[in-house]
Amino acid sequence: MESEYVSELTYPASIRDVALEIANKSGSVINETNFSMISTSKIRKPEGYTFRQAIGLIAQFEAGYARFSRTNQLEIMQLIDPKFAVSPAEYFQKGLTKNELMYKIGGISCTVPVQSENSSEQVTYTAGSNTGPQIVLENKVMTQDLLDNIYQKIKDINFYPFTLNWRGNPALETGDWLMLTDRDGTPFKTPNLSYTLTFKGGLTTSSSANTNSSAQTVSAYSPPLNQIIKEINSRVDAAGKNSVYDGTEEPPYPKEGDIWFKKNGPDDEIWVYTKLVDGTYDWVLQTSTRLTDDIQEKIDNSVPSDEIVKTINLSQEMDGKEWLKITGAKIWLTDQTKIDDAIIQDAMIGSLSASKINAGTLNAATIDVINLNAKSLSAGTISGRNLSINLDTGAVQFQKGYIAGADNLIRFDLNNSLFQSFSSGGSGFKVQYGRFTFYDVNQTEIGFVQPWAYQDNPGIYLKGAKNLNLEGDTVSIQLGTTTYGTNRIIMFGRTTMVNQAEIFGKLTVGGDLSVIGSKNAAHVTRDGLRLTPAYETAESYLGDIGTAETGEDCTVVIPIEEHFSDVINTDYEYQVFLQIYGEGSICVLSRDKTSFTVQSSVPNLPFAWEIKGKRRGYEDDRLILTDMKFEEIKKLEERNILEEEE
């Protein structure tokens, strides 16, 4: 696994395909069921890694770890809760050290090299909060979307860091959750992240989950309006009277009857804010996915499954092999029973289904088949007038008829070149003659997808009757009739506003451009990219700046540059501002449509001038009232608040 991994796949490639190639090239046997669950998200080509490091990247994307199982199969695993409890009687003296500060992941980050046309730079992606414990990943093919997916898988993991020296159990695995009991007798669950077994005349074991825990000391200020909006947006119960919370942090300012869905290690708990006997209020646990102590004790003291049958009879030898012999005149096995391999010397079978026969030879000369009901036919060709099935190649050819479900919601009609799928409510789609058409519950067409009609400009044509919503991961674009009005294009995330939209190249806006935030120009400086905001006035003004010098007669005429005079309207009053560079005074003597005259108190006085005139076509605009409503601003603010809470 320490040899260099050189991929031969075509990229971008799916994570699952990369994992399979790593296993094949390294000669590793995989757990096929486990590998079939690996994500199919696309990644760039990983370069400069060994096989061990490359499979580590795969485990990283799956928010887990890579291992070879006890059967020497390569697997990608996550934390598993086997409901395993370690009794304090199994601890060595002073064997348990518990950190009372719970570890909960605050955020994760990954710095990735990005190659541009002219240079290579480092880009840091982040997910989650910037407070609390942070995880820093090393992964040269990481993207923001993949990092967000990893964070969603691990954000609720919480546990108390610990170190335990105890008697051990070979059946336990690294990555299993353990139920431990601290000095106060309080049970708690924590993951077995490090597991070392040592045998020196007796078995000793060290289990641990060592992390750097930290208390969150930074809190974000929330203005009164935001607090009101947060209160309005809080979840309520079915009766509409109490709040419902989730997460690991205790909810602030609860009231009687509020419900808290709390994540405690691998378990989920439900707490209700209740009035106690002494008149005080506190959170009271109602139920949990954690096994109760009596059920856990029964499991721990039960007979292992592989020992149950051995308690019936002792094993005996037959044909030179050791067999388990069960003696009985009559034995009745009810329900389903499976025998992997058996020798039945003589038997009478009450009912035999041919679907259960999948090996050996049946002599058809001695069998009269009236009705054939076979689960598996392994060779040959089944053919008819309009149907042919080749059992050797797998080729199936239909020429007429249709395939439909019992309720006809899904139908494949060969006669009409039609495929359709509808919900029980009536909405769905049809595919016919190269056109993908969508319908609502009233069977009214609401949109379609088809090839673009112009041959010289091929493409795909998507149309919605009133609205078209395009969504990728957590970002969507609404076209047409949107939640903010008609004839609009709206871009936002599934639960938060779009963090950033980038356009490379020219951007032309044919109508008005409204910005709720700032309008900036970006400049490269010695310590990073700096932004300069636009200078804006209450009216639509354009400006020009220049320098000049008065003559011997203490005057000078400054012509208004032709192109600038095309964009401002000098029929309206414009303003001139002066700044002298010398001894003396200066003033604007006159202004006309094509020039203005400046006079100084002394000859040959240098100065700078600035002219501001009203933009042509917008001369009467002043603090124009837009058609954007307060409710729209409120929606934007609420989405921004949700974004801050993520």
Query: Among positive and negative, which fits the CA dihedral 293, 294, 296, 300?
Result: positive
The label of the residue with tokens 């009794």 reads: 87
What is the rounded CA–CA span in Å between residue 543 and residue 535?
A: 11
What is the rounded CA–CA span in Å between residue 379 and residue 394?
A: 10
Provide the pLDDT for residue 619. Answer: 92
Provide the pLDDT for residue 312. Answer: 47
Provide the pLDDT for residue 311. Answer: 46
478 in Cβ contact with 471 (< 8 Å) = no
What is the rounded CA–CA span in Å between residue 178 and residue 171?
A: 13
- The sheet that has 467-472: what strands, in order across it? 467-472, 475-482, 485-493
Tens-place pLDDT, residues 97-141: 888 888 888 889 999 888 777 777 888 899 988 888 888 998 888
What is the rounded CA–CA span in Å between residue 122 and residue 113?
A: 5
Long-range CB contacts for residues 244-253, cutoff 8 Å, separation at least 24: 247/156, 248/102, 248/104, 248/156, 248/158, 250/283
Tens-place pLDDT, residues 460-507: 877 777 787 777 776 777 777 776 677 777 776 655 556 667 777 787
Provide the pLDDT for residue 175. Answer: 86
What is the rounded CA–CA span in Å between residue 440 and residue 299?
A: 53
Pairing of the two strands 80-85 and 176-181:
parallel
490 in Cβ contact with 471 (< 8 Å) = no
Provide the pLDDT for residue 598. Answer: 96
Provide the pLDDT for residue 217. Answer: 38
Residue 38 burial (CB count, 10 A): 20
Provide the pLDDT for residue 526. Answer: 92
Long-range CB contacts for residues 559-566, cutoff 8 Å, separation at least 24: 559/594, 559/595, 560/593, 560/594, 560/595, 560/596, 560/611, 564/611, 565/593, 565/594, 566/616
Provide the pLDDT for residue 188. Answer: 86
> DSSP assignment of 260-298, as one string?
EEEEETTEEEEEEEEE-TTS-EEEEEEEESSPPHHHHHH
Residues sharing a CB contact under 8 Å with residue 153, sequence separation 6 or more, in sequence order: 62, 63, 78
Provide the pLDDT for residue 87. Answer: 85
What is the rounded CA–CA span in Å between residue 83 and residue 315?
A: 32
The tally of CA atoms less than 13 A away on the side-chain side of residue 172 is 25
20, with CB counted inside 10 A (0-12, 13-18, 19+), is: middle
Q: Structure pTM?
A: 0.41
Provide the pLDDT for residue 23. Answer: 92
Provide the pLDDT for residue 323. Answer: 59
Query: Among positive and negative, which fits the CA dihedral 482, 485, 487, 491?
Result: negative
Q: Which residues of the chain have pLDDT under 70?
A: 212-241, 265, 291-335, 340, 342-380, 385-386, 474, 483-484, 492-500, 636-637, 639-646
Residues sharing a CB contact under 8 Å with residue 412, sequence separation 6 or more, in sequence order: 402, 403, 404, 418, 419
Provide the pLDDT for residue 422. Answer: 86
